[in-house]
Structure 1
């Protein structure tokens, strides 16, 4: 029942080695999580930048607006019924399968 000092020392060293392995494993998992999250963040940033650039390309006048003025303008545009209908139409088209899939091709 009583373990010798050598046995206890050996158990301690094995436990310390396992602890270090688990710490390394946890660091790898945390790095992987950060990598995956940054990927989605990069995709979002890319989407926001390209869409903002698209707005400026079709309405170059908005470049002079402050951020608050721009948001106010976008809110007013989004409240306009023809724009709401058009957005709804595009969303519906996006969620429907292509015509070739409907016909069984």
Structure 2
């Protein structure tokens, strides 16, 4: 009879540990989902920022719409290599107070 009780206790303990294991696996899954959600949010913010800035360039210089992607990048490299542009960029970043 003592052996039966020990076996029943062991089975109960085993069930309890399996339940804890399932809970911990579920908790890990929830945390992974949360991390993916935040990462996806950062990608969305970046994509939004890039689209908004690209739209700003097209509104200031509508001629850029006609350029291919390669030619646009070449133009951007040339513009940002100009000393005046570098100075303006440095001043803008220096005056930036953390807001938009």
TM value normalised by structure 1: 0.83
Summarize the alignment of residues 24-103 of structure 1 with structure 2, pairs less than 5 Å apart. 24-95=26-97
In structure 2, how many angstroms separate the alpha carbons of the residues matched to 1:8 and 1:73? Answer: 74
Shift of 1:4: 2.2
CA distance, structure 2, for counterparts of residue 22 and residue 67 of structure 1: 49
How big is each residue's C-alpha offset from its partner over 1:24-71, in whole Å with a ceiling of 9 and x where there is no partner? Answer: 111111111111111111111110000000001111111121111111
- Name the CA distance, whole Å, in 1 between partners of 2:97 and 2:27: 41
C-alpha separation between the residues in 2 aligned to 1:38 and 1:6?
48
Greater than 2 Å deviation, 4+ residue runs:
none
Ranges in structure 2 where 5+ consecutive residues have no aligned partner: none
TM-score by length of 2: 0.87
**Partners of 1:13 and 1:69 in 2: CA distance:** 66
What's the offset of the Cα at 1:23? 1.0
| Alpha-carbon distance in structure 2 between the residues aligned to 1:14 and 1:22 | 12
RMSD: 1.7
SS in 2 for 1:4: helix
Q: How far apart in 2 are the matches of 1:40 and 1:33? A: 11
